Structure 1
Amino acid sequence: MEEIKMQKTEGSRKAPFKLTLYSLSTCGFCRRAKKFLEENGFPFDWLDVDTLDKETRTVLKDELKSRFSVKVGFPFLAIEHDSGKLQALVGFIERDWEDILL
């Protein structure tokens, strides 16, 4: 299994949560999700899952499914609140992302 190296995008917004975006390099919805986070000033880590080898992809998807108790699809935004609460947004529906993040 290969080592997973997350990319980092800096942002000006202070938020009570940590954001990690799992996306696919060829996905238009994933690009829109990344652009939404950037335009709204959120710092976030991100990873194009399709650039990983098959074994690593499978392990990562299983971990996300187990940790967040949701079906994994892309984009997948993992939200770790400072309080310890875990939340995930699967797919990109801008209105839902606005309601939760803004």
Structure 2
Amino acid sequence: MPMEHVDGQDKGKVVLYALSTCGWCKKTRMLLEDLEAEYDYIYVDLLKGNERAEVIEDLKKWNPRLSFPTIVLNDEECIVGFDEDKVRENLE
């Protein structure tokens, strides 16, 4: 998957599925950066063809509604939508 990486403190594996045009996705990225978390993100709307289909299939396992933002933590837990309290609880 074509992920973008953001350096920070290792707080476990953090993957953000987002849309490049989504204000809540941007707020989520800003929150992750405020928490100085290392994370990977992918803008699903910028993908094409097979790559996009593959990422959407992967995302469906975590969030069948395919809403954004979706954060997957350590391949175990999923936070759907902008949920500052839940993100802080898991990463602080």
Q: TM-score, normalised by structure 1?
A: 0.77
Structure of greater Rg? 1
Moved over 3 A (4+): none
- The correspondence of residues 21-100 of structure 1 with structure 2, limited to 5 A, is 21-66=16-61, 68=62, 70-71=63-64, 72-80=66-74, 86-100=76-90
Identity percentage over the alignment? 30
Task: Give the conservation status (yes or no) of the 8 Å contact 2:13–2:39.
Answer: yes
Aligned Cα root-mean-square deviation (Å) = 1.7
Q: What does the per-residue CA deviation read over 1:34-81, in whole Å, with 9 as the maximum and x for residues that have no partner? A: 000011110011111100015432331222222x3x32311111111x
Gaps of 5+ in 2: none
- Tell me, in whole angstroms, the C-alpha distance in 2 between the residues paired with 1:8 and 1:101: 17
Contact 2:70 2:80 in 1 (8 A): yes
* Aligned length in residues: 91
Query: Are the counterparts in 1 of residues 37 and 91 from structure 2 also a CA contact under 8 Å?
Result: no
Take 1:56 and 1:6, find their aligned partners in 2: how far apart are those partners?
A: 11
**TM-score, normalised on structure 2?**
0.85
Q: Which runs of 5+ in 1 are unaligned?
A: none
